[in-house]
Amino acid sequence: MKVHLSNMDQVFRDKLENFQHKPPDEVWNNIEQKLDGKKSSNILIYKIAASLAILTFIASLYFNLNRTSYPYSYKITPRYTETAKDHKLPDKSFKYSAISMADINLENENSKGWSFLQEEKIVVHPAERINNEEIASLTTLPVAIDEHRNRPDILIKKIPPKQSLFADIFPEFSAVNYEEYNINHSNASKKWMIGGAIAPSYSYRHIPESNILTGNSYYNNLESPVFTYSGGLNIQFKAQKRFSIQAGIYYSTMGQDMNYISVYANQLYQIAGDKTRDNYINTYEIINSAGDIKFNSPLVFFDETATARVRNLSVSKNDIMLSETFLDNVHANIRQSFEYIEVPLIFRYKVLDKTLGINILGGVGANFLVGNNVYLIYDNNKDVIGKTNGVNNINYSGLLGLGLEYPIMNNLNILIEPSLKYYLNPINSNLEIESHPYSLGIYTGVSYSF
Amino acid sequence: MNNYIEIVKACIKGNRKAQKQLYQLFADKMFGVCMRYADDVDEAKDILQDGFIKVFMNLEQFNHKGSFEGWVRRIMVNTALEKFRDKNYLFAVNMEQGYESRDKEYDHILSELAAKDLLKMVQELSPQYRMVFNLYAIEGYSHKEICEMLNIKEGTSKSNLSRAREILKEKIKKNSDVKIKYI
């Protein structure tokens, strides 16, 4: 006996130290189940890895399909077929035909961004890991994975209950009080989690009320948010019972729509001969809060708000009056879209650690621009007309979120994480206007702990 | 009792029969330990279950030098503390001054009480008093060790202990009153 006990303590000790009671039979059954579960966990990892791969593949298909440039197909703007070279006005030989924008695009950055992501395959090495999430979930400190054997060790020691992160990372510097039963030295506990998530997002930008002449309301009236997708893979390290660090790689699209710009198809372009047709291709510059867009198009763009957002740089070549009857209105939208590969570093704190877990997330991310397109969207088609000039290639973002996780299988959780990402730097450092993109997404996905 | 070395070896190989044998060997005793720490039977079952899984997963780490039972017991206590810490993440710092008194009059009543009565009294203590009392009086840890385990101040551990003792004394007194009534 190490310490002096009062008489009463002694009585309690004598009677309770070796007190026995038969536990209900179900306890052994549960233990057996969990021990069985351990065996199949390797297979489970493969299953998860496979489903993540499939998910990534499907997502990449989705994004690629969405980005395919379709040839224009105006229902309202007829054009001579190649056979109608006699310059007669043909009635029946009008054809719904294609003007391939690819020919006249300044640049067509097709799918560059996503293919980059596809190259970044996360490889899971489940092979030797005796993976046991029960152990992991039961205790923060007594259990550790030995680097060499990949097996959990147990530290039977007097555990300081809230060991510092520092001590977790540098166990050799932390005061460890090993005891008689104390077995091998071991690293601090390690718990990993891999996951994948995809999110529909609401994306727009914030322009601080700054010294710009027009104020931010000017742009807020002319531009509007877009709905996009984002998704990726992540890996989490549980540094402490409730505190985790997460890194990952995500693909995300940000952007905005430009409103009050009318788009017309020019019949003159349709009927012009090969030699004169080029005269109807104009160079436009559209200026907005994210930068300027310069492109060539046979279409006619006009700013409805009588501000100077749209400029026809080649107007002298071909004066177009909007009153002309040869202009057909195309119901089209102009969308600026930026694709990023995001590498976030996120800190998670678990505020509720029950069956349903609630986490608070905060972090920072580096966002690498991998796609920069301006789309003309009409009749379910999406054509690239150009790109936004001057935007940064790397942006830094802050992230705040709330994560809900719920176990569906032994090591498998489903997650729902509404989160807000805000670009700390303006998207275009060349402009006076400071446009900070942000997106609000609800990430849903799965995570697997091992 | 040394035959459990063989059982342990078989368990390490994953022999299910041996695992069950090992479980049966210690289940009753360890459930007794768990019951002292737990809020209720369900929690005691959880601690026992989680603790045994840890035991099985880490059998290889047992070095056969110390007492095996002690090793298993330590895992159970650690598991119980883990559960306690999870539930009581923020401790109320209790600076209540305790006092040591030795009431001889209770000692004889005490010795007549059955283990089950005592267990019930311990179980009825509030979680933190229960932890401190169990660790100090029954497991034999010092206040210094306990304050590290529970992340409380040493003074808190001391005052919790004396408060727990006071409460237990009250309970013993009530219990004996009841007994006397029925005799």
Check residues A255 and A323 and name the one with the higher pLDDT. A255
Percent of chain B's residues with pLDDT above 70: 80
Do the chains contact at A22 and B27, CB–CB below 8 Å?
yes
Check residues A134 and A49 and name the one with the higher pLDDT. A49
Do the chains contact at A159 and B89, CB–CB below 8 Å?
no
Name the residue among A15, A32, A158 with its Cβ closest to that of B115.
A15
pLDDT tens per residue across span A175-214: 333 333 333 333 334 478 899 999 999 999 988 876 556 6
C-alpha distances in Å from residue A25, one per residue of A28, A29, A34, A37: 6, 7, 15, 19
pLDDT tens per residue across span A96-145: 333 444 443 434 444 333 333 333 443 434 433 434 444 344 333 343 33
For B14, the closest chain A residue by CA position comes to A35
C-alpha distance from B5 to closest chain A C-alpha (Å): 16
Q: If pLDDT is split at 50, 70 and 90, which confidence band does A26 have? A: confident
**Within a 10 A sphere around the Cβ of A243, how many other Cβ atoms?**
17
Most confident of A81-85, A96-100, A274-278, A381-385: A381-385
**Within a 10 A sphere around the Cβ of A233, how many other Cβ atoms?**
22
Q: Decide: A19 and B122 in contact? Cβ < 8 Å.
A: no
| Mean pLDDT computed over A401-423 | 90
Output the pLDDT for position A137: 41
Our CA dihedral for A115, A120, A125, A126, rounded to 10 degrees, sits at -60
Do the chains contact at A11 and B111, CB–CB below 8 Å?
yes
Task: Kindly give, in sequence order, each residue whose CB lies less than 8 Å from that of residue A58, ignoring residues fewer than 6 positions away.
Answer: none
Dist. CA A281–CA A321, nearest whole Å: 15
Output the pLDDT for position A339: 94
Do the chains contact at B50 and A134, CB–CB below 8 Å?
yes
Both tokens of A282, joined, read 């104009």
Percent of chain B's residues with pLDDT above 90: 25
Name the residue among A12, A22, A138 with its Cβ closest to that of B82.
A138
Alpha carbon of residue A373 to chain centroid: 17
C-alpha distance from A123 to closest chain B C-alpha (Å): 26
Output the pLDDT for position B58: 86
pLDDT tens per residue across span B14-50: 888 888 888 998 999 999 999 999 888 888 999 999 9
pTM: 0.45
Q: How many CB pairs below 8 A link A and B?
A: 181
> Which residues from chain A sit within 8 angstroms of residue B111, using beta carbons?
11
Alpha helices (H) in A84-175, listed in sequence order: 101-104, 112-119, 133-138, 165-169
| Mean pLDDT computed over B161-182 | 77
Dist. CA B107–CA B117, nearest whole Å: 15
Do the chains contact at A161 and B110, CB–CB below 8 Å?
no
For B150, the closest chain A residue by CA position comes to A161
Evaluate if residue B112 carries a pLDDT over 90: no
Dist. CA A375–CA A353, nearest whole Å: 45
C-alpha distance from B77 to closest chain A C-alpha (Å): 10
Output the pLDDT for position A329: 82
| Mean pLDDT computed over A277-288 | 84
Do the chains contact at B28 and A22, CB–CB below 8 Å?
yes
Q: Which of B13, B57, B163, B166 to mutate to test the interface with A (most CBs of A within 10 A)?
A: B57
Output the pLDDT for position A422: 94
Alpha carbon of residue A344 to chain centroid: 10
> Which residues from chain A sit within 8 angstroms of residue B79, using beta carbons?
138-139
Alpha helices (H) in B38-153, listed in sequence order: 41-57, 68-87, 104-112, 115-124, 127-133, 143-150
> Which residues from chain B sit within 8 angstroms of residue A154, using beta carbons?
54, 57-58, 61, 75
Both tokens of B28, joined, read 């009753």
Q: Helices then strands (H, E): number in chain B?
A: 9, 0
Q: What is the mean pLDDT of chain A?
A: 71
pLDDT tens per residue across span A428-442: 887 878 889 999 999
Q: Mean pLDDT lowest for which of A31-35, A414-418, A422-426, B135-139?
A: A31-35
Dist. CA A290–CA A389, nearest whole Å: 9
C-alpha distance from B27 to closest chain A C-alpha (Å): 7
Alpha carbon of residue A134 to chain centroid: 31
Q: If pLDDT is split at 50, 70 and 90, which confidence band does B88 have? A: low
> Which residues from chain B sit within 8 angstroms of residue A26, using beta carbons?
45
C-alpha distance from B30 to closest chain A C-alpha (Å): 7
Do the chains contact at B140 and A15, CB–CB below 8 Å?
no
Strands (E), A298-449: 300-303, 310-312, 327-330, 333-353, 357-378, 381-386, 388-389, 394-407, 412-423, 436-449
Dist. CA B70–CA B48, nearest whole Å: 15
For B15, the closest chain A residue by CA position comes to A35
Q: Which of B48, B61, B165 to mutate to test the interface with A (most CBs of A within 10 A)?
A: B61
Q: If pLDDT is split at 50, 70 and 90, which confidence band does A235 have? A: very high
> Which residues from chain B sit within 8 angstroms of residue A151, using beta carbons?
60
C-alpha distance from B105 to closest chain A C-alpha (Å): 11
Output the pLDDT for position A173: 40
Evaluate if residue A271 carries a pLDDT over 90: no
ipTM > 0.90? no
Evaluate if residue B66 carries a pLDDT over 50: yes
| Mean pLDDT computed over A78-91 | 40
For A31, the closest chain B residue by CA position comes to B49
Dist. CA A385–CA A113, nearest whole Å: 17
Name the residue among B33, B85, B140 with its Cβ closest to that of A161.
B85
> Which residues from chain B sit within 8 angstroms of residue A140, using beta carbons?
82
> Which residues from chain A sit within 8 angstroms of residue B45, using beta carbons?
23-24, 26-27
Percent of chain A as helix, strand, coil, to the nearest 5: 25, 40, 40
* B84 phi, psi to nearest 5 deg: -65, -45
